[in-house]
Amino acid sequence: MVVTENLMQFIWKLRLFNPIGLRSSDGEPLTVINLGQHNLNAGPDFLMSHIILGDRVWYGNIEIHIRSSDWDRHHHQDDTAYNNVILHVVWVNDKVIQRSDGTVIPTMLLSEYVDPHLLDKYSMMMNTNSWIPCQPQLSSVDSVKKTMWLDALSYERLEMKVQAIFGLLADYGNDWEKVFWIWMCRCMGLKVNTETFHELGEKLPLPLLHKYRSDILKIEAIFFGTAGFLPGEGDDEYVNLRYREFIYQQRVHEIAVVNGGWKKLRMRPYNFPEIRIAQLVALFSQKSLSLSTILCLENLEDARLLFGIGPLNEYWKYRFSLGGKASIEHSGKIGKGTIDVLLINVVVLFLFAYGKYYGIEKYIDRAIYFMESLPAEKNTIIKRFEAFEWVAENASQSQAILQLKKLYCDKKQCLHCRIGAEILRSG
């Protein structure tokens, strides 16, 4: 198999080599007291290491390469930062290596001390065509270790998501309410219309909407007009009224219209963008939805009630889009499944983001509590993991599984996955 530096660093970091009878390439007895601290920045791979070579005690750094000649190829001989390297760990020793001052660096041939079975297991993971690399061994992993890794992944996923929130805050001058509504619109778009809904959130004139909060005609006109769903007058008086109102508001306040195209192909009518926008209007006008209302939530039931809007305008009773008619009668309320998705992707995320940004632990704790209290999501990935005895018990764990699949399994980052590491080091 092809050995990589990442694999060698993994073996060294977890001490997955036989420590008995270690010798340098010159035959001197070698004892590794402290492997060192893995360095993820520029410079030697492991810092503050401690070894005994022959009868000498060494403190310093350790560099790892596949071939010892890689030292010169990477120009370390010209870099004084590598003068304190006390051991060069290699897989193939093809050259005597010197520091910039001409002194020879002791070399250890790691390939002589690694169990071939570990390499075979790693090779199988990297070359498999299975849905996930460790699929045959996944069910054998201890349940406690699974749970601990899922907890870490759930937190990691939240940390990654809030970076997008912080980026928007930087773009909008720390206007939390504006960023909240951009994100709220984005999440109502689900996967198909995410970016167009995001653009809608950016272009909605929030101060003007707050001014007209009690005037539903103006609110609907601005929402639908900004979305580009009011192109002109026709036979539909409901649409005509909102079109005329929007044209006036647009002229007075210079409101921009979204450029993105809305998608409906193979979409369930309940997810059509117009009905979603009508629901956003209801959340804005009926519930006064805002970041401040999110921060006041104390329990999950209150959070669910916040998204429990009343029936929409009678116009929507038999419609899912402007102008068209449907034979199905519906209330237009937001479904329970969608509410739970919004709780995960809006409520939890903004509680966590606000807590992280201002260092307020109670919001971080509440976000995690909500995640652990919400039911696990239902999708193809979660169901596939259930077949390997990985059953998500709550939304925190289902979010963790999505993180695991996307950033570790799909990219074959087994060396950075606790489960992959556990499988490799077992036996």
For 283-340, write each residue's pLDDT tens digit.
999 999 999 999 999 999 999 999 999 889 889 998 999 987 766 888 899 999 999 9
| Sign of the torsion angle spanned by Cα atoms 262, 263, 268, 269 | positive
| Sign of the torsion angle spanned by Cα atoms 309, 311, 314, 318 | positive
Whole-number pLDDT of residue 1: 65
| Residues 37 and 46 sit within 8 Å (Cβ to Cβ) | yes
Domain borders along the chain are: 5-114, 116-171+375-427, 173-373
Whole-number pLDDT of residue 329: 87
Average pLDDT over residues 371-381: 96
Whole-number pLDDT of residue 2: 78
Whole-number pLDDT of residue 427: 60
Whole-number pLDDT of residue 112: 97
Distance (Å, whole) CA 187 – CA 196: 11
Helix 143-171 vs helix 418-425: angle between axes, to the nearest 10 degrees? Answer: 150
Q: Which residues pair with 51 in a beta bridge?
A: 32, 58
Model confidence at 93: pLDDT above 70: yes
Whole-number pLDDT of residue 14: 94
> Which is nearest to 371 in space by CA: 340, 402, 401?
340
Average pLDDT, rounded, for the chain? 94
Model confidence at 267: pLDDT above 90: no
| Residues 286 and 172 sit within 8 Å (Cβ to Cβ) | no
> Which is nearest to 220 in space by CA: 308, 332, 326, 328?
332
Model confidence at 172: pLDDT above 70: yes
Tell me which H or E stretch contains 238.
Answer: helix 237-253
| Sign of the torsion angle spanned by Cα atoms 181, 344, 189, 323 | negative
| Residues 164 and 357 sit within 8 Å (Cβ to Cβ) | no
- The model's confidence at residue 50, banded by pLDDT at 50, 70 and 90, is very high
Which of the residue ranges 23-32, 134-143, 203-212 would you say has the lowest mean pLDDT? 134-143
Q: Euclidean distance between the first and final Cα of the chain, in Å?
A: 20
Model confidence at 186: pLDDT above 90: yes
Whole-number pLDDT of residue 323: 83
Whole-number pLDDT of residue 266: 83
- The model's confidence at residue 88, banded by pLDDT at 50, 70 and 90, is very high
> Which is nearest to 122 in space by CA: 1, 293, 251, 283?
1
Whole-number pLDDT of residue 414: 95
pLDDT, tens only, 71-87: 999 999 888 889 999 99
Whole-number pLDDT of residue 260: 80
Q: Which residues pair with 65 in a beta bridge?
A: 90
Q: Which residues pair with 59 in a beta bridge?
A: 50
Distance (Å, whole) CA 398 – CA 413: 19
Average pLDDT over residues 246-263: 95
| Residues 224 and 231 sit within 8 Å (Cβ to Cβ) | no
User: Cβ contacts of residue 65 below 8 Å, gap of 6+?
Assistant: 5, 71, 74, 88, 89, 90, 91
DSSP-H helix ranges across 45-193: 70-73, 116-127, 143-171, 176-188
Whole-number pLDDT of residue 196: 97
Whole-number pLDDT of residue 426: 81
